[in-house]
Structure 1
Amino acid sequence: MGKATREAYGEALKEIGGKNEQIVVLDADLSKSTKTNVFAKAYPQRFFNVGIAEQNLVGTAAGLAASGKIPFVSTFAMFAAGRAFEQIRNSVCYPKLNVKVAATHAGLTVGEDGASHQAIEDVSLMRSLPNMTVLVPADEEETRQAIAWAAEYQGPVYIRLGRMSVDNVSPEGYVFAPAKAAILTEGNDVALIANGVMVMAALEAAKMLAAEGIQARVINMASVKPLDEAAVVSAAKETGAIVTCEEHSIIGGLGSAVAEVLAEQAPAPLERVGVKDTFGESGKPKELLAKYGLTAADVAEAARRVVARKK
């Protein structure tokens, strides 16, 4: 088991902060949890704790970006995407300012903090905004590269990060790029398109399916917007069956993005594994993933259903 993506984020911030003095970091009194405290200790003059005031957090970042700085702002995903939505929309995306929103503690795997803190609609909210890039890295290496890329890119970026430790799934030599999916396993019977913590589940599901003679192509789709439409179309045409896997509502996130591409460019049977239009609850992360149907077994079962539909 590797690190949580929030931990990789903290380390990546410190690394890029040493290379570029224009990078500043802002937090809403959660730096120990979001891991921006790593940057704060290394570069205290470029770290700003605005307190429990997420709307001001984003507004201040917008002002710093307009002054030529490269601000990374962090808080829990629920507060970043939810409480500060208007500020992200009107103060960051509308003028296309160079603000990076790195939101941690996303999804059900926040665990015991419960439904009020489990952001399962943040990707949908951020994906709907013009000028916004939306990234959901799967592991430590992909997070590190995504943060480094975001620091160089000119424009708003939303990076979704988690609390739970995850396996290292990035292949040797992996290079992150927006709108570029990574094919982790080959297969022409069904395609499992996943991101974030669900990439682990997709890979495990592929092993289960292989034992049954079903060859699954596992695709890590870290970039939800822009989406790698070519990878989706190829998967649809070459496998004829698609399963999307996300730790997010099936409404508006990865599943919806893939469904839109399929409907317009390459119709194929689709099953969406994700949270089914409901709120979460307090519990252990793995127990919650099981209760809400986000395990490898659930992905494998969805794959069996979608394969049957194409026959």
Structure 2
Amino acid sequence: MAARTFVSMLIPGLLAAAVSTGCSGSTSSSAAPGKPQGAPALTKEQAQQVLASFTAGMNRAGHRFSGRTLRTVEADPQLSMDVAALKLRRAVRQRPPKVAFTRPTFYIPRLTGYPHWFAADAVTGQGKRALRHALLFTQAGQGAPWLLTADPYPSELALGRIALDPQGYATPVAPDVKDLAVQPAKLAQAHAALLTDGPGAPGAALLAEGARTTETYKALKEGEKSLAARGVTLSSRFSPAQYKVYGLRTKDRGAVVWYVLKQNEAYSAARRGRMTVSGDLVGLAPPASARTRLDTIVLVQYLASVPPKGRATISGMYRKAVTAQGS
């Protein structure tokens, strides 16, 4: 039996996002009346240059299977996840396709300090292979490089709801803001509790039912049963990852929020030969290293849409195993 991460096997849609029409001239809609606070992180022209520089660096890294090159254009959690993806590509001797972003729309917040950051909605691929991105770029300090920090794949035009002021800039949302249905800082804990212990877990009711919440939990439980029938035990636990939470105000005075979970998986078997390193885990550990146990760490990026009242919905996701250790 090939042991691998079951959520990625059973929940479709990570690489098939719905594509809607987008342009750089979104309709302005201010959700934060009054005098704007802070200054824009950069201009739209500069944001376009950041995206172009990232694209060139990403393509160099893919051509060379180079994690070192990735470090010049990415920061964690995106960096750790994409380095793992490159290891898989190198192991199967398959270079990633060349990346080209089209129809970018930039959402640049007014900020009062570092890190500076901005979001971009863009599309790669065409037709049935088109994939929408909710890119988040950050700059750690003055003069530091702009790096891609997160890129969940939204299943809808989630960023199109972001509010813009009369000058075309967005409004950041603090993690502890209290005028939303869920504080952004509490999303990860609620989501982790639901995926670990089910819809009855404390805080789980803050999230709406859906493919990336209740259905993921059900799929994981079904996967555990399927493995058990083959002599393999799987235990899985989710927790908030220690990365910064980012949010932007939407036209309905809600917010879109980027956050990250960590999933610890432990596979075990009483007899050798029941497990092997395969699927998403290829490149992270030698194929025959999982004799009777395999431990993995998975990072999962999420994009949530949080209304002023009601329950938060998960509109984007990117999941990747980043470490695997067999024994």
With normalisation by structure 2, the TM-score equals 0.26
Greater C-alpha Rg: 2
Give 1 or 2: higher strand fraction: 2
Give 1 or 2: higher helix fraction: 1
Q: Higher RCO, 1 or 2 (CA under 8 Å, sep at least 6)?
A: 2
